[in-house]
Amino acid sequence: MLLTITHPVVPVKYRHLFFDLDHTLWDFEKNADETLRHLFDHHALARFGSFTVEEFISRYSEINHGLWRLYQANKITQQQLRSVRFVRTLAKFGVPEDEVPVTISKDFTDLLPQKSAVFPFTHEVLQYLQDRGYTLHLITNGFRDIQYAKLASSRLTDYFQEIVTSECSGCLKPDRRIFEHALERAGTSAPESLMIGDNLECDVLGAFNAGIDQVYFNPDKRRHSAEVTYEISCLSELKGFL
């Protein structure tokens, strides 16, 4: 069983740190909110007259999260996810499919990765960890082209030695194979590694099943019953035990 540690004493065995990107380093919610507000205005969605920008963002988030769960379960493809999320969102407000702006999905995927908001202390902590001699890597379910653009926009690329995406590994978190692929790419082993991420299933359980200790990043301090190796609510807390 895993052990919940409130004030962890971390063994010196860790040499390689694996981070999730979205919702852990890159502030997906803030960046998506800015992008969706731009699209609402750019495509004049107010002309449909039946919903506000806040309602549009809320419904899109709900639809998108549901589609991502299907994608992570290998029930839909990347293209299906991208092509239907705005159609389904606007359909909830009575907008016929043939009136959905043709380029809105592409506009979203083009604009979103240009946003650069990251969680507090992201750059400071990554630099600190590098200076302490840790080798940093990423494991992400995000699409390769989008994730690399996000990293560049937010000036995060140079912190990481290996950037492992679901596309390059052929599987998605929480599948243990993506973690095993990442370990092989990094030239390390599970006992020397630590996974930091915000998703209890994808990051924590996935890493656990691959024999990797985990840090659950829980900035909203959501209550849960999962047992995790370590838990933090701010990235700066990593400096207290790494």
Please tell me whether residues 100 and 123 are part of one structural domain. Answer: no
pLDDT band at 170 (very low <50, low <70, confident <90, very high): confident
- Global pTM value: 0.90
Tell me if 7 is assigned to some domain.
Answer: no
Strand partners, 196: 19, 215
Handedness of CA 141, 144, 146, 147 (dihedral sign): positive
The pLDDT score that the predictor gives to residue 4 is 44
pLDDT band at 168; cut points 50, 70, 90? confident
Q: What Å distances lie between residue 61 and 18, 43, 101, 147, 196, CA to CA?
A: 27, 18, 18, 19, 24
Confidence band for 38, pLDDT divided at 50, 70 and 90: very high
* Residues 137 and 21 grouped into a single domain: yes
Q: Are residues 145 and 207 part of one domain?
A: yes
Same domain, yes or no: 110 and 126 = no
pLDDT confidence tier of residue 74, bands split at 50, 70 and 90 = confident
Q: What CATH number should be reported for the domain holding residue 193?
A: 3.40.50.1000
The residue that leads in pLDDT, 95 or 166, is: 95
Helices 104-111 & 78-91, crossing angle to 10 degrees?
120
Domain end marker among 94, 114, 134: 114
Residues 22, 125: one domain? yes
Q: What is the dihedral of CA 32, 34, 35, 40, to 10 degrees?
A: 120
What contacts 83, CB < 8 A, 6 or more positions away? 105
What Rg, from alpha-carbon coordinates, does the chain have?
Answer: 19
